[in-house]
Amino acid sequence: MRTVDPLSRRVALAHLPTPLEPMRRLAAHLGMADDALWVKRDDCTGLAAGGNKARKLEYLCEEATVHGADTLVTGGGRQSNHVRMAAAAANKLGLRCTIVLGGAEPSVPSGNLVLDELLAPEMVWAGTLDYYGIEAAIDHATRRLIDEGRRPYAMPIGGASPVGALGYVRAAQELREQHPDVDLVVTADGSGGTHAGLAAGLGNHGRVLGVDVGARPDLDVQVPEKATETARLAGLAEPTGTAQIDHDRFGAGYGEPTDDAREALDLAARLEGLILDPVYSGKAMAGLIAARRDGRIERDTNVVFLHTGGLPALFASSFAEWIKTRPGGN
C-alpha cells in the first residue's frame, strides 16, 4: 500500500519557496563573518500581506476542507496577524470566518484591524482576556456556531496545533535545500507553533532559538510538546536536545514596545532596508542581537533570521509616537 506523505496534504495559499537573502551589512555591524547571517523572507508569503501564518493555514485549511467545514474560527490579540490571514484564507476558499479578538473594539481601526475590516470576517470582541481566556472564547464561539447549524473548524491562537505546525516542518525542508549548513534559526515565539514545527523539521532543538514575545505563559512546556507531536504527525523522529527560548525580550508584556526592539528595527531598516515590526519580528531580532553580543552566537555561526511578517502592526496608532524615538536619542 502506498503511504501518503503527510506534508503533501495542503491547500496552496502561500508564495513558496520564500527567498533566503544574505544580510551582509548587518553581519558586519554585529562582527559576524560575511556570509554567516541570512534572512528567510516568510514576510513574503503573499496571503493578505504575508507572514508565517500562511504556511500553517495551508495545512489547517486542508483539514477543514476534509472535515467538510463551512466556517473557520480562530482568535488572537487585537493586532493579531493570524486572524487577518485566517480571514483571507477563508475568503479565498469560499468559507465563512469568525474571529475572536481580545480587548474592546477601538473607535478607529488601525494596523491589522484595517485589513480585518476589509476582509470582513465576523468579529467577536471578547474583552480583556489572557491567552487561555481567548482560547476559551474561541471554543465558545465554535459551540455557538454549531448551535446555529454551521460546520465550524476551530483553530487555536496562532494556528498552533501540530497540523498547523506541519507548515514549518515543510519550511525547514525548504530552508535546508536553500542552505544545507544552517546552524541556528532565530524566530519569534507567540503561540510557539512556528518554533515547534522548525524544531521538528530540523530534528534538533539546538538549531532553533525562539524569542518569547510575551503572549503565551507556558512556552517552555508547549514548544517541546508540540514539536514532538508534530514530528510524529510528519513521520519524523522526535527532535533531540532541549528547546531554547529567550524570555528576556518582551519587556512589559505582549505588544509593549521595548528599546532593544526599537534598536533592532533601526538596524534592520538602515543597514538592510528590511522592515521589522514592534510586536514579533523586532523582538526576535533583538534576541538575535543579544545572543551575538553575549557570545551565544559566534562570528562564524551560520544564522538564519526567520522574518515572520507582522508589518501591519507597525501602522497601529499605538506605535505612532514610539516609532519617532530613535535609539541613542539621535
Ligand X SMILES: Cc1ncc(COP(=O)(O)O)c(C=O)c1O
Stretch that binds ligand X, among 65-73, 95-103, 198-206, 302-310 (CB under 6 A): 302-310
Residues 80, 16, 180, CA angle at the centre, nearest 5°? 110
Which residue's CB is nearer to ligand X, number 37 or number 213? 213
Contact status: 79 vs ligand X (CB under 6 A): no
Applying the rule CB under 6 A, the residues between 191 and 250 that interact with ligand X are: 191-195
Q: Taking contact as CB under 6 A, which single stretch among the options 172-180, 182-190, 228-236, 264-272 is the one that binds ligand X?
A: 182-190
Question: Judging by beta carbons within 10 Å of its beta carbon (0-12, 13-18, 19+), is residue 144 exposed, middle or buried?
Answer: middle
Q: Give yes or no for residue 111 binding ligand X (CB under 6 A).
A: no
Judge whether 281 counts as a catalytic residue: no
The SS3 of residue 211 is strand
Contact 226, 160 (CB under 8 A): yes
Smallest distance, ligand X to C-beta of residue 222, A:
9
Size of the site for ligand X (CB under 6 A): 19
State yes or no: residue 255 binds ligand X (CB under 6 A): no
Grid cell, residue 116, equals: 480585518
Does residue 95 contact residue 178 with C-beta atoms inside 8 Å?
Answer: no
Contact pick of 69, 185, 188, 200 for ligand X (by CB under 6 A): 188
Catalytic residue among 8, 80, 107, 318: 80
The conformation of residue 289, written as its DSSP 8-state character, comes to H
Secondary structure of residue 77 in the 3-state scheme? coil
Cell of 30: 554585529
Query: Which residues does the annotation mark as catalytic?
Result: 80
List interacting residues with ligand X (CB under 6 A). 51-52, 81-82, 158, 160, 188-195, 280-281, 308-310
